Amino acid sequence: MTEQKKPRALTYTEMMNGGRQQMDAAEHNREMDLQRRTEELEAKVEHLKKSLEECHQPANRNEVF
């Protein structure tokens, strides 16, 4: 009888790399670019949040709306 091998579980690295043990250079560059763009967008969101908070604060507390 021939035994069928059970498929093995993927390692964490393989799961993160689409089933491969190592990323190729092009994929690594895409990942780095995505990380950079994500950080830039997060910084812009924080800037917008601060701007909105400043706009919603009354300039003078005695001011009537």
- pLDDT score recorded for residue 55: 87
pLDDT in tens, 18-49: 777 777 888 889 989 999 999 999 999 999 99
Per-residue pLDDT band for 65 (boundaries 50, 70, 90) equals low
pLDDT in tens, 15-24: 887 777 777 8
d(CA 19, CA 12): 9
Long-range pairs for 53-59 at CB < 8 Å and ≥24 separation?
none
**The model's pTM:** 0.54
* 41 contacts: CB under 8 Å, gap ≥ 6: none
Which among 18, 43, 21 is positioned nearest to 30, based on CA atoms? Answer: 18
Q: Is the model's pLDDT at 64 over the cut of 60?
A: no
DSSP 30: H
